[in-house]
Amino acid sequence: MKAIIPAAGLGTRLRPLTYTRPKPVLRVAGQPIIRHAIRTLQVAGITDIGVVVSDITREEIQHALRNVTGVDITLINQHEQLGLGHAVLTAREWVGDSDFCVYLGDNLFEFGALPFVEHFLAERPAALIALVEVADPSSFGVAEMEGERIVRLVEKPKNPPSKMAVAGLYCFTPEIFTVLDGMPASARGEYEITDGIQGLIERGHTVVGQAVKGWWKDTGRPADLLDANRLLLERIETDIRGTVEDSVLTGRVVVPPTARVTRSTIVGPVLLGEGVIIEDAYIGPFTSIGKGSVIRAAEVEHSVLDEGAIIENVHRRLQDCLIGVRARVSGNRIMPRTHKLTISDASVVELV
């Protein structure tokens, strides 16, 4: 079985973070989102993975996937972004006659792809769709069910037939390509995967819905990234191998060999990257700090710092922050008790 990860979009809902980088390379819990997706597929036994990229996202995606081991990754060019159905059809030649999984790389599942892949391989319907119950399904693809079978699937309906929304993981036989090939675009000018699945239903094929067990996160907005970081950090175990001097570390904390913590307090779960320097600082729970970052004379909690970020001389706590690559936050005067920041790559913020 193969897998497709669509990664051609720009992630406009995550701007300004995605002005300079595509959404799949943004980091949560120390890794680009797309690496979490690949790990999930690998655990499910899928090692042949096609990543659909655009001319704009290709270079950054390729860089994020360097040194990935244990899987065979193929980049597939989608020169026009015309919807998820179009992205899947773009990968048709690469998929060939194989069954395949489509995993939206900005989605995270507590128990990964394995339960869905196992169910699909055991029953082998034309399609199996991960579903999650949501309070307001009008912004999702929505399934109408009879038992475990989906009898109707509609995209972003004004009057949803149920509260069971499509959750970003699909398993297909190659039959889906016969529906997608020649299918008309939707009213918004895109080729919807939900229309393709509905086409399978109308042709009499079996389409199964499987409810998500445990938590599910769509990391489409800044608050979702922070929540995903929190959920993933819940899984880490203490691993302190770097230099720790005159400091107090409590809870689950990861300090890699090249990191240094001096005269500081860290309350886990906290994940430090290689080469991180923490001096005269407080790092609170649910914080991940990227490679080569420096936090000096500052307090940070429930935040994600990407590689090379610098925070220094900030005399009130920063919380719920997303700090981009090589961004800098500095200050030297009295300021409000907390600050909430979403800062894109290479930004400079001075708190004075």
- The CA distance from 289 to 295, in Å, is 9
* 108 close to 192: Cβ distance less than 8 angstroms: no
Structure token pair of residue 180:
């997608």
The answer to whether the CB of 232 falls within 8 A of the CB of 36 is yes
pLDDT per residue as tens digits for the range 21-45: 767 778 888 888 889 899 999 999 9
Cβ neighbours of residue 14 closer than 8 Å, sequence gap 6 or more: 23, 26, 220, 221, 222, 225
Query: Quick one: which of 308, 285, 307 has its CA closest to 236?
Result: 285
Q: Which two tokens stand for residue 232?
A: 């993933």
Distance separating alpha carbons of residues 31 and 71, to the nearest angstrom: 17
Say if strands 127-133 and 164-172 run parallel, antiparallel, or are unpaired.
antiparallel
- What percentage of the chain's residues is helix, strand, coil (to nearest 5)? 20, 35, 45
The answer to whether the beta carbons of residues 95 and 74 sit under 8 Å apart is: no
Give the pLDDT confidence score for residue 7 in this predicted structure: 85
Residues 97, 46, 228, 136, CA torsion sign: positive
What tokens appear for 156 in the block? 């972003």
- Report DSSP state, residue 92: H
pTM of the model: 0.84
Span 131-172, pLDDT tens digits: 998 888 887 888 888 888 999 888 788 888 888 888 889 999
Contact between 113 and 46 under an 8 Å Cβ cutoff? The reply is yes
Write phi, then psi, for 213 (nearest 5 degrees).
-100, 140
Task: Report residues of the chain scoring pLDDT below 70.
Answer: 10-14, 16-20, 22, 333-337, 346, 348, 352
Given a contact cutoff of 8 angstroms between Cβ atoms, the answer to whether 155 and 192 are in contact is yes
